[in-house]
Amino acid sequence: MARDEAVIGCTGELLIATRGSAGPGEILVRVRGGTETFLAWSEEPLPRGTIVLVIESRGTRQVGVIEWADPLDALGGVTDAP
């Protein structure tokens, strides 16, 4: 079972909702200069359209994910303007 370390730390969008321990969903990830799909596993069910962070590779085209919240959004849209 080959692990894909390049995808760890990437974010993506769930194309198909995850069901927690009941089964995976599907994620579209930007990686290696393009986009690829993977089966996505999460501890808690996550709805379609959720932005997620890949936290582990589970082997051939399968990853573990958590919901992603952009830390810059919490700062109210930080800009570089003076």
The string of pLDDT tens digits covering residues 15-58 is 999 999 999 999 999 988 999 999 999 999 999 999 999 999 99
pLDDT at 54: 96
pTM: 0.82
Residue closest to 47 by CA, chosen among 12, 10, 14 = 14
Burial of 8 (0-12, 13-18, 19+ CB in 10 A): middle
- Domains in the chain with CATH codes: 5-68 (2.40.50.140)
